[in-house]
Amino acid sequence: MRGLGELEAAVMDVLWRTSEPLKVREVMDRLDTGKQLAYTTVMTVLDNLHRKGWAVRELDGKAYRYEPAMSRAEAASAALREVLDSSGDPEAVLLHFARSASDRETELLRKALPRKRRK
């Protein structure tokens, strides 16, 4: 995920895969990084994600519960927007993407774009 470190992306994946806000321990229990992580490490990552606007949190007793600030699709769309805005040539980027799109992706794009009348 653009703009996120490896551990941040893994934590966001945990948040996106669940339907309810999670405490730090619950995120730790669901993380599959292949490494044993300290509670304070996961807590710091969640705090950073909150500070960066990727996660929202609510106090539940003495601990916070975290959930994504946006859906995975919204985050991917924002990343694509950032790429287009910073490319210097968004038209070229979009044309390259369109040429590489699968049949299914092409169909979805056609459905999403409004029909324009030809003159």
What value does the mean pLDDT of the chain take? 92
Question: Could you report the per-residue pLDDT of 52-100, keeping only the tens digit for each?
Answer: 999 999 999 999 999 999 999 999 998 889 889 999 999 999 999 989 9
Q: φ and ψ at 35, to 5 degrees?
A: -125, 150
Confirm if 3 and 12 have CB atoms less than 8 A apart: no
Confirm if 10 and 3 have CB atoms less than 8 A apart: no
pLDDT at 112: 87
The Cα–Cα gap between 66 and 47 comes to: 9
Question: Could you report the per-residue pLDDT of 7-27, keeping only the tens digit for each?
Answer: 999 999 999 999 999 999 999
pLDDT at 116: 64
How far is C-alpha 3 from the chain's CA centre? 9
What distances in angstroms separate CA 23 from CA 34, 49, 84, 91, 111, one per listed residue?
Answer: 20, 14, 35, 43, 39
